[in-house]
Amino acid sequence: MENLKRYFHMALVLVIALLLATGGVAWMLGADPALPWIAAVVLMLAVATVDTLRAIAQRQAGVDLLALLTMIAALALSEHLAGAVIAFMFASGRALEEYSAGRARRELSALVERTPRVAHRRIQSEAKSGAYPEEGSTLEEIPANAVQVGDLLIVKPGEVVPVDGLLISDTADLDESAVTGESKPRRRSRGDQLLSGVINAGSPLELQALKTAEHSTYAGIVRMVAEAQASKAPFTRLADRYALWFIPPVLVLAGAAWWISGDPVRALAVLVVATPCPLILAAPVAIIAAISQAAKRGILIKNGTALEQLADIQNLLFDKTGTLTTGRPQLVGIDATEGFPPDEVLRLAASLDQVSQHSTAQSLVAEARRRNLTLSIPDKVKEEPGEGLTGEVEGHSVAVGSLALILEGGTSDSWTKARLRHMAQRGLSGAFVRIDERMAGLLLLADQIRLDTPRALRALHRAGIRRTVMLSGDRQDVAETVALSLGFDAVLAERSPADKVAAVKSECRRGNTGMVGDGVNDAPALAAADVGIAMGARGAGASAEAADVVLLVDRLDCLPRGLGIARRGRQIAVQSVVAGMALSVLAMIVAAFGYLPPVLGALVQEGIDVAVILNALRALRPPPDNEPEARLPTGLAAHLQRQHSELQPVLDRLEAAGHFFNGSASNNNDNHKALNTEIQTAASVIREQLLPHEREDEEKLYPALAKMVRGFDPMGAMSHTHREIFRLAHRYEQLAADFAEEPPDELQVQELRRILLSLIAIVRLHFAQEEELYFTLSDTQQ
């Protein structure tokens, strides 16, 4: 429909131009040029009349009424050339508007056109029924909307993933640009959830459907895009209302010019330049262009009203889980009981968890693989929903899950009670592990803060956001810990969905307020805010439907970028309107005094139109950012982060040593021997595994990063942290050397423990700072 409309206006311009040229040739040959010029006016008059009547039927004033009056006046005054020029300018203005709007909507239309149409479903043969379907199965091509949950699908190279699903293949390379805005292919691993709408950029992959096409991510995006395309920008609605008060003063000015001068042509000249094209054309084009630019960056703004409100927000509220944090549990520590090495506890637990699709199980499997632990295929696995798994791994009886599952009706001992208190104090969750009927350890899990969250919050404050508030259902002490680490102005904890709605309404009374969330329970709060912002491609469900803005890229630092695009788009729209209307009013005054004849006035008005539309199209360009020119190659950034992952077991090992030191000093010779062994082992781990990494960073990596970040000594603070790490490590090694022959007393052991735990805390903080820096400098969204 849009293309047909655009082609019609282009054809109309060509026909009227041909009639105008025909009249000009007739005039030069001495013939009467009136007939082709009148035909041009009548043709454009007919089109404008139909549009005006349609606008009146829809109870809209219709600013086309001025153009209608102008062409009628030209015919009445026998100003045929002026009428033909006006008709051509009016037709070309409409064609230019359609072209500009079409270009501005291009990114939105591209999303709709890429909707998955077909899927390839694997059909098991009867002989293979119940087995993993590979050989003996066939493929059938079906419509994407015929896919059912649980179907096994094959996606060929270059094809679009038709539904949200679970990756069955070992790895897959995917082009996620249409969904996330990420320009480079991203590698996914077995067990990852794939979003519909992404393109298979590698070899054929297999996935299991988790949703139907109707309820998949891309369908939700398409519905929201359709809403964005169908909505009228607020400036467009304003233009319709504008005619109600603009037309009478124009008619009065035209009548006054006629009455004072006695020349009706002056009235015609005033009408020619009076059409409010800057408001009709430029402002909507700027708004649509900004929406299109945002969509290109993975930010779906549903309509012009949402864009204006986004540009005006002063306060922002954030849900915690899944918005500020990843929403997925990550292993942050391993508490192993005596006789069970921490890595062995994780390896056996992850081996068992391979058969589970629970998010915690998949997180443990991913962490074990990051640590290069060898996983075995489990046997006799039984999963208790909400509790955990039991089974056999390498001949060992293994159970992973809740404490109730591990104890099997037994009672907690002192070790278990201490770990439960520790988890509660730190706001952690955990998976207990039992091996061969013995408590083997506790895998501590936490919902980690997103790497981009601190950077995003700083960028929002720099952009003028006055107040940030964190909403959470967590306990007050846990929520405050997260809020303080991120620098929020306020934290509202232990809030139910209804409490969140009340908090949003309260903030709205302070000023224009946005709410950022990602879960189904956030939908009411998103709807209550002036601007609801749904987080990530996963938000294409209830939260995204309730939101005004959807961040398709699962990164919070897209929000400052979207805020910049919205503010720039609105600024350009207002700029175009003010400048264009000022020029139009000036041209009306000049025409009223007789210095601007109708034909020249039409040309002047066309020049104003072209100028303001070209200015409006500037909104298609992204706003300038302050990103560093040099970027870390994707592979290097991933390598640096992988190094930190590989060092996490080293920190776990040192932390276990610190816990061992606690109360270990005694007069027992066996205890002394074990204590000395642990002290020397920890010293060896620090010297041989931790310090070489830090020295390499200081001597090789930091000088390279300093050139990217620029400024005077930009890595100075990070280098200072290195020096503190080296100091603590050196102090520990000195004490360890002193105790090589003679065992330490209890006070000396506590000093060793203090130094070791201080070292671990600083290194963990340092890793977090470095990872945020790598993330910021990375040349790709991760």
> Active-site residue numbers?
319
Cβ atoms 737, 665 nearer than 8 A: no
Reduced to 3 states, what is the DSSP secondary structure of residue 439?
strand
Reduced to 3 states, what is the DSSP secondary structure of residue 517?
strand
Q: Give the DSSP letter string of 533-575.
A: EEESGGGTTHHHHH-SEEE-SS-TTHHHHHHHHHHHHHHHHHH
Cβ atoms 771, 764 nearer than 8 A: no
HEC readout, 695-759: HHHHHHHHHHHHHHHCCCCCCHHHHHHHHHHHHHHHHHHHHHHHCCCCCCCHHHHHHHHHHHHHH
* φ, ψ dihedrals at 651, nearest 5°: -65, -40
Structure tokens, 566: 């919205």
- Continuous segment of H or E residues that includes residue 251: helix 234-261
Tokens 């709007």, residue located: 101
Strands 467-471 and 490-492: parallel
Q: Where are the beta strands (DSSP E) in 584-630?
A: none
Q: Where are the beta strands (DSSP E) in 531-680?
A: 531-535, 549-551
Tokens 């930190």, residue located: 644
Cα 147 from Cα 155, distance rounded (Å): 13
Which residues, 6+ apart, have CB-to-CB distance to 740 below 8 Å? 676, 680
- Using CA of residue 739, residue 745, residue 748, residue 752, what is the dihedral sign? positive
HEC readout, 40-53: HHHHHHHHHHHHHH
Cα–Cα distances in angstroms (integers) from residue 728 to residues 332, 367, 402, 758, 763, in the given order? 22, 28, 38, 8, 11
CA 5 to chain centre: 33
Structure tokens, 171: 């790895």
* φ, ψ dihedrals at 40, nearest 5°: -65, -45
Structure tokens, 410: 């037994």
Cα 690 from Cα 681, distance rounded (Å): 13
Strands 531-535 and 513-517: parallel
Which residues, 6+ apart, have CB-to-CB distance to 290 below 8 Å? 301, 307, 565, 566, 568, 569, 570, 572, 573, 619
Cα–Cα distances in angstroms (integers) from residue 112 to residues 5, 219, 224, in the given order? 19, 9, 10
Could you tell me the strand order of the sheet in which 186-189 lies?
186-189, 171-175, 199-200
